Amino acid sequence: MVERMTWEEIQKKYPDQWVGLVDVKYVDDDGISVESAVVKYTDKSKSDLTRLVLKGEIISRYTTPDNIFQMGMIGVQS
């Protein structure tokens, strides 16, 4: 059975790793902040997940809390 979880539940269950998400619901439909989703992948590398994102099959997120940066992300400007 597929389990929908909040972003906080996903972060707690899969700490400090990349996850592939489907059926994503965003906070205020902003397209960025995940409110809840179904976790489809927890065992793939960032590269593998990126390929699936580019195909439009999933979205991916790193589960580190917002106040901690994954190596390589500090200094990235949008």
Of 47, 41, 48, 78, which Cα lies nearest the Cα of 63?
41
Question: Do 61 and 14 contact (CB within 8 A), yes or no?
Answer: no
> Are residues 4 and 21 in contact, defined by beta-carbon separation less than 8 angstroms?
no
Q: Per residue in 6-53, pLDDT tens?
A: 999 999 999 999 999 999 999 998 888 999 999 999 999 999 999 999
Query: Which residue carries 């809390």 as its tokens?
Result: 65
Does the pTM exceed 0.85? no
Q: Give the position of tokens 């960025």.
A: 32
